[in-house]
Amino acid sequence: MTQVGKARGTTPDALNYLESFTLGAVDTSLAAQNAVVALESLGLGSVYIGGIRNKPAEVAAELALSARQFPLFGLAIGKPDPVRPASVKPRLPQASVLFEEQYAWSETQAQAVRDYDRSLRAFQREQGLPERDWSDQASDRTRGPDSMAGRDVLRDVLAKLSFPLF
Ligand SMILES: Cc1cc2nc3c(=O)[nH]c(=O)nc-3n(C[C@H](O)[C@H](O)[C@H](O)COP(=O)(O)O)c2cc1C
């Protein structure tokens, strides 16, 4: 957008705002998810790689990104190995994430999460994976900066990549 604006003689100052960053993140995610669905329809598999945000400055340098460009996530694409078929992990039940008109967390959602912990454990058992509640995993991941695999410094990295995020 910076280049397009330049060609029109405008300064793209709105790109300095958190709103523009959020817009970019939403649009990129929507495009990627559509790509994932299209890839599946072609018999290809894909894996999102959020791990690239563990070292976003290094990834930005590797990709020769310029100012106000940020590597949101990677998407690895390949052919699924028929010798190692993968099962779809159970997802959080709708009752735990769907609210009508207003957000109102209640015992209904809490029970749905407990049910999910149980169904995830059953899946892990079936797959020969170590058993662990989703609630436990998710709580651990959101515990604090030390559980964020280096992503706690994202604001500083974004500032260095010329995102003031006003
Ligand atoms: C936003 C997002 C980021 C992800 N980041 C990674 C990653 O960094 N490394 C990885 O191996 N898998 C990553 N995954 C893939 C998941 O670990 C998982 O393999 C994928 O969601 C599909 O498997 P599932 O059916 O078990 O959910 C990511 C998935 C999503 C949705």
Per DSSP, the residues of 20-65 read HHHHHHHHHHHHHHHHHHHHHHTT-EEEEEGGGGGSHHHHHHHTT-
What is the model's pLDDT at position 42?
Answer: 98
pLDDT at 121 over 90: yes
At residue 65 the predicted structure's pLDDT band, cuts being 50, 70 and 90, is very high
CA of 7 to the centre of ligand 1 (A): 39
- The structural domains of the chain, with segments of one domain joined by +, span 1-81, 88-133
Q: What is the value of pTM for the model shown?
A: 0.89
The predicted-structure confidence for 122-138, as pLDDT tens digits, reads as follows 999 999 999 999 999 99
Going by alpha carbons, the residue nearest to atom 11 of ligand 1 is 49
The predicted-structure confidence for 1-52, as pLDDT tens digits, reads as follows 888 888 999 998 999 999 999 999 999 999 999 999 999 999 999 999 999 9
How confident is the model over 93-112, as a mean pLDDT? Answer: 97
Q: Which atom of ligand 1 is nearest to the CA of 29?
A: 1
Going by alpha carbons, the residue nearest to atom 7 of ligand 1 is 49
Task: Give the C-alpha separation, 116 to 110, whole Å.
Answer: 10
Judge if the beta carbon of residue 50 lies within 6 A of ligand 1: yes
CA of 75 to the centre of ligand 1 (A): 10
Kind plus residue range of the DSSP H or E element containing 78: strand 74-78
Contacts 24+ apart (CB under 8 A), 51-60: 51/149, 53/151, 53/154, 54/149, 54/150, 54/151, 55/150, 56/154, 56/157, 56/161, 57/157, 57/160, 57/161, 60/161
Distance of CA 154 to CAs 44, 56, 63, 74, Å?
32, 8, 18, 16
CA of 72 to the centre of ligand 1 (A): 14
What is the model's pLDDT at position 6?
Answer: 87
For the record, the structure tokens of 87 come out as 């099962």
What is the model's pLDDT at position 1?
Answer: 84
7-11, 118-122, 149-153: which is most confident: 118-122
Residues in a beta bridge with 77: 46
Going by alpha carbons, the residue nearest to atom 20 of ligand 1 is 47
